C-alpha cells in the first residue's frame, strides 16, 4: 500500500462499455442477470448471500454490471483470492452501467449481512457516496476498484490503473518503432470532456515527445469499433499520408485497421492502443495492432480482497491510491522500451 494518498482525477479511469462474449453467458448463468442481487458464484456454492470461500470473514464485491468482460474478470480475481484466503465472498452487480440505486441496495444488504469490507466499481461516483459513508460509519472498509468516487476520499482506498502511464508506454513504443521517421499522427480519441480520454491521449503524446500540433487528424470514437472505422476513413480523406494511429482502446484500433486494410494501407501504418482485453491482445498477435498497454482487473479485485483480510486480522486499513499496474504488450519489441510478448498478454488478458 502507498504510504501517502495519491489523488487521481475522477475521470482518469476508463468507463467500461458492455460487450457480450461467451464468457458473459457463463456469468449470466451464474448471476441470472436479473435485478441487482447478492449472489454466491464460484467454488461450488449456490445462490444466496453467502459467497465463495467458507471462512467467517465476509467480503463484498459490487460491480457496475455482471456482463462486461472487464468485470467478469474482476469477479474471477475476487473469487480466487477469497478461496485462497478462506473468506466468504458476496457479490452483486447492476442491471446496467449507471444503476446507482441497485448499488446502494447492495451496500445496505452487505452491511446487514456483516461484511468486513466492500469492494466497489461505482456506477455513479457522486451519488454512491452517502451509502458508502453509512457503511464506513459502521466500521466497514470500502475500497473503490477501477473507478474512483468523487471525491476520492469518500472511500478508504482506490485500486486502479494509471491511464496517463498507459498512454505514455505506447507513446514511447511508437517513437522507437518509427525509427526517426517523421510521424503524421491520427488520434482516435474517446469523447469531449471525458478525462480518461485526455489522460491516455496526453500520455501518448508525452511518451512520443510530440504535441497536439503534430496530430494531423483527431476524431472522437466513443471507444466504438464502427465509429473507429469511420473516424479512420475521415482521417485518411483529410490526410492521406498518416503513418501512425493512436487509439483510445482496442475496438477503436480494430476499426482503424479495417479502414486501413480497405485502402491497402494496413502494412504502412503503425497502430497503438490501450486496454489489454483478450480480443485486442489477439489483434496484437495477429499483427493488426503493433502494441497495447494492458491493465489488470483481476489484480484490482484480488488485492482488494487481501486488503479486507488484512483489516479483519489486525485492523490495518488500506489507504490512498494503489496503481495496479500496466504492461506494454507487443511481439515487435523495441530497444529501450520495456515490454512483454502476446504469450504473456493472452495469459493475463480479460474478456
* Selection from 284, 263, 234, 309 nearest residue 83 by Cα: 309
Strand spans (E) along 121-230: 141-145, 157-160, 185-189, 215-220
Q: What pLDDT, on a 0 to 100 scale, did the predictor assign at position 43? A: 30
The predicted pLDDT at position 94 comes to 85
Q: How far is CA 266 from CA 76, 279, 346, in A?
A: 36, 18, 23
Radius of gyration of the chain from its Cα atoms, rounded to whole angstroms: 21
Task: Output the CA angle 89-91-96, nearest 5 degrees.
Answer: 165
pLDDT 10s per residue in the chain (351 long)? 333 334 444 444 444 443 434 444 334 434 333 334 444 433 322 223 345 555 689 999 999 888 888 889 999 999 999 999 999 999 999 888 889 999 999 999 999 999 999 999 998 889 999 999 999 999 999 999 988 888 999 999 999 999 999 999 999 999 999 999 999 999 999 888 666 788 899 999 999 999 999 999 999 998 999 999 999 999 999 999 999 999 999 999 999 999 999 999 999 999 999 999 999 999 999 999 999 999 999 999 999 999 999 999 999 999 999 999 999 999 999 999 999 999 999 999 998
Question: What pLDDT score does 24 carry?
Answer: 41
Q: How far apart are CA 218 and CA 348, in angstroms?
A: 31
Amino acid at each position: 500500500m502507498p504510504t501517502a494518498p495519491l489523488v487521481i482525477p475522477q475521470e482518469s479511469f476508463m468507463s467500461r462499455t458492455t460487450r457480450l462474449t461467451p464468457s458473459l453467458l457463463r456469468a449470466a448463468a451464474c448471476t441470472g442477470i436479473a435485478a441487482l442481487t447478492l449472489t454466491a458464484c464460484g467454488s461450488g456454492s449456490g445462490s444466496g448471500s453467502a459467497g465463495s470461500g467458507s471462512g467467517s470473514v465476509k467480503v463484498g464485491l459490487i460491480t457496475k454490471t455482471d456482463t462486461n468482460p472487464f468485470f467478469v474478470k474482476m469477479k474471477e480475481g475476487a473469487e480466487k483470492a477469497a478461496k485462497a484466503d478462506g473468506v466468504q465472498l458476496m457479490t452483486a452487480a447492476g442491471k446496467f452501467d449507471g444503476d446507482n440505486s441497485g448499488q446502494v441496495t447492495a451496500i445496505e444488504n452487505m452491511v446487514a449481512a456483516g461484511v468486513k469490507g466492500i469492494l466497489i466499481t461505482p456506477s455513479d461516483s457522486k451519488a454512491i457516496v452517502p451509502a458508502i459513508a453509512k457503511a464506513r460509519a459502521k466500521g466497514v472498509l470500502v475500497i473503490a476498484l477501477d473507478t474512483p468516487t468523487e471525491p476520492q476520499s469518500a472511500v478508504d482506498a482506490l485500486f486502479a490503473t494509471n491511464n496517463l502511464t498507459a498512454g505514455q508506454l505506447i507513446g514511447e513504443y511508437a517513437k522507437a518503432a518509427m525509427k526517426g521517421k517523421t510521424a503524421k499522427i491520427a488520434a482516435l480519441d474517446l469523447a469531449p470532456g471525458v478525462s480518461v480520454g485526455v489522460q491516455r491521449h496526453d500520455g501518448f503524446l508525452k511518451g512520443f515527445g510530440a504535441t497536439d500540433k503534430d496530430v494531423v487528424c483527431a476524431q472522437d470514437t466513443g471507444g466504438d469499433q464502427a465509429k473507429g472505422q469511420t473516424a479512420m476513413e475521415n482521417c485518411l480523406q483529410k490526410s492521406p499520408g498518416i503513418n501512425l494511429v493512436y487509439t483510445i482502446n482496442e475496438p477503436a484500433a480494430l476499426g482503424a485497421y479495417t479502414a486501413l486494410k480497405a485502402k491497402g494501407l494496413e502494412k504502412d501504418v503503425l497502430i497503438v492502443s490501450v486496454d489489454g482485453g483478450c480480443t485486442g491482445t489477439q489483434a496484437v498477435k495477429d499483427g493488426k495492432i503493433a502494441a497495447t498497454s494492458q491493465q489488470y482487473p483481476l489484480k484490482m479485485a484480488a488485492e482488494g480482497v487481501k486488503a479486507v483480510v488484512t483489516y479483519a486480522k489486525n485492523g490495518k486499513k488500506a489507504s490512498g491510491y494503489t496503481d495496479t499496474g500496466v504492461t506494454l504488450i507487443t511481439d515487435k519489441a523495441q530497444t529501450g522500451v520495456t515490454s512483454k510478448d502476446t504469450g504473456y498478454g493472452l495469459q493475463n488478458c480479460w474478456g
